[in-house]
């Protein structure tokens, strides 16, 4: 549950009753779902590419710093 801080507590009560405020209240669930789905997709595509290339583990370990560099630059 999200804790809200405000000077006027009655204002929060009014916001919670409106249906248009629900996407804001549930934004944390949406963001968490997005991160989980994108993580699964990245892991799936990585493993698919990893097995297709038949890469040795030593070669992969040498490529890890380049993967991080590429991600940082993006």
* pLDDT tens profile 33-55: 999 999 999 889 888 877 776 66
For all residues of the chain together, what is the average pLDDT?
A: 75
CA–CA distance, 12 with 44 (Å, rounded to integer): 42
What does pTM read for this prediction? 0.47
Sequence-distant (≥ 6) Cβ neighbours of residue 15 within 8 angstroms: 21
Mapped to the 3 state alphabet, what secondary structure does the chain carry? CCCCCCCCHHHHHHHHHCHHHHHHHCHHHHHHHHHHHHHHHHHHHHHHHHHHHCCCHHHHHHHHHHHHHHHHHC
What percent of the chain stands above pLDDT 70? 68
């Amino acid at each position: 549950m999200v804790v809200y801080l405000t000077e006027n507590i009655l204002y929060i009560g009014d916001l919670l009753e409106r249906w248009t405020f629900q996407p804001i209240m549930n934004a944390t669930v949406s963001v968490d779902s997005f991160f989980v789905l994108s993580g699964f997709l990245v892991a799936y595509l990585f493993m698919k590419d990893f097995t297709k290339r038949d890469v040795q583990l030593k070669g992969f370990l040498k490529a890890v710093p380049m993967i991080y560099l590429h991600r940082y630059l993006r």
